[in-house]
Amino acid sequence: MATEDSPDAISPSVPKISGDGSPNGLVEVRYEYTSLLPEILQFAGVTVLVSTYQAGKMLALGSHAGNVTVSSCHFDRAMGLAVDQTRIAIGTRRQIHFLKSAPELGPRMPPEGTRDGCWLPRQSFYTGNVQGHELAWGNDGLWVVNTLFSSLCTLHEDYSFVPRWQPPFIKELAAQDRCHLNGLAMENGRPRFVTVMAESNEPVGWRENKATTGCVIDVASGQSLARGLSMPHSPRLYGGRLWVLNSGLGQLGTVDPATGRYESVERVPGYTRGLAFAGQFAFVGLSKIRETSVFGGVPIAEDRQNLKCGVAVIDLQTGRSIAAFQFFSGVEEIFAIDVIPQKNAHIQGPSSDQDDEAHDVWVAPPPGKPVGPEPEAAIYHRPFRT
Q: How far apart are CA 158 and CA 150, in angstroms?
A: 21
pLDDT (tens digit, 9 = 90+) per residue, 116-149? 999 999 999 999 999 999 999 999 999 999 999 9
Average pLDDT over residues 301-317: 95
Tell me what percent of the residues of the chain surpass a pLDDT of 90. Answer: 77
Helix/strand/coil for 250: coil
Average pLDDT over residues 82-87: 97
Identify residue 374 by its one-letter amino acid code. E
Burial classification of residue 109, based on how many CB atoms lie within 10 Å of its CB (0-12 exposed, 13-18 middle, 19 or more buried):
buried
pLDDT (tens digit, 9 = 90+) per residue, 243-253? 999 999 999 99
The pLDDT of residue 260 is: 96
Report whether pLDDT(96) > 70.
Answer: yes
Q: What's the mean pLDDT when you consider all of the chain?
A: 90
pLDDT (tens digit, 9 = 90+) per residue, 151-190? 999 999 999 999 999 999 999 999 999 999 999 999 999 9
Separate counts of helices (H) and strands (E) for the chain: 1, 27
Tell me what percent of the residues of the chain surpass a pLDDT of 70. Answer: 87
Output the CA–CA distances (angstroms, integers) from residue 355 to 26, 198, 351, 358, in the order listed.
Answer: 13, 43, 8, 9
Residue 214 neighbours by CB under 8 Å, 6+ apart:
195, 196, 197, 198, 227, 228, 229, 230, 231, 232, 246, 248
Band (pLDDT 50/70/90 cuts) for residue 354 is: low
Q: How far apart are CA 86 and CA 63, in angstroms?
A: 21
The pLDDT of residue 380 is: 54
- Look at 250 and 296; give whichever has higher pLDDT: 250
Whether 155 contacts 144, CB under 8 Å: yes
Type and span of the H or E element at 195: strand 190-196
Whether 54 contacts 332, CB under 8 Å: yes
Report whether pLDDT(6) > 90.
Answer: no
Report whether pLDDT(328) > 90.
Answer: yes
Burial classification of residue 33, based on how many CB atoms lie within 10 Å of its CB (0-12 exposed, 13-18 middle, 19 or more buried):
buried
Band (pLDDT 50/70/90 cuts) for residue 20 is: very low
Band (pLDDT 50/70/90 cuts) for residue 239 is: very high
Q: Considering only 52-56, 98-102, 107-111, 287-291, which range has the smallest mean pLDDT?
A: 287-291
Residue 232 neighbours by CB under 8 Å, 6+ apart:
183, 195, 196, 197, 214, 215, 216, 244, 245, 246, 247
Band (pLDDT 50/70/90 cuts) for residue 272 is: very high
Q: How far apart are CA 222 and CA 89, in angstroms?
A: 27
Q: How far apart are CA 115 and CA 290, in angstroms?
A: 36
pLDDT (tens digit, 9 = 90+) per residue, 361-383? 777 888 878 887 776 655 554 55
Whether 267 contacts 215, CB under 8 Å: no
Q: How far apart are CA 179 and CA 206, in angstroms?
A: 5
Type and span of the H or E element at 43: helix 37-44
Which one-letter DSSP state was computed for residue 379? -
Average pLDDT over residues 244-263: 98
End-to-end CA distance of the chain: 53
Domains annotated on the chain, with CATH: 6-359 (2.120.10.30)
The pLDDT of residue 363 is: 78
Phi, psi of 196 (to 5 degrees): -135, 160
Q: Tell which phi-psi region holds residue 66, choosing left (phi > 0), alpha (psi between -120 and 50) or beta.
A: left
Band (pLDDT 50/70/90 cuts) for residue 19 is: very low
Report whether pLDDT(54) > 60.
Answer: yes
Report whether pLDDT(7) > 70.
Answer: no
The pLDDT of residue 371 is: 81
The pLDDT of residue 385 is: 52
* Cβ atoms within 10 Å of 36's Cβ, excluding its own: 18
Q: How far apart are CA 153 and CA 143, in angstroms?
A: 6
Output the CA–CA distances (angstroms, integers) from residue 262 to 50, 154, 163, 211, 232, in the order listed.
Answer: 26, 30, 30, 15, 11
Average pLDDT over residues 92-101: 97
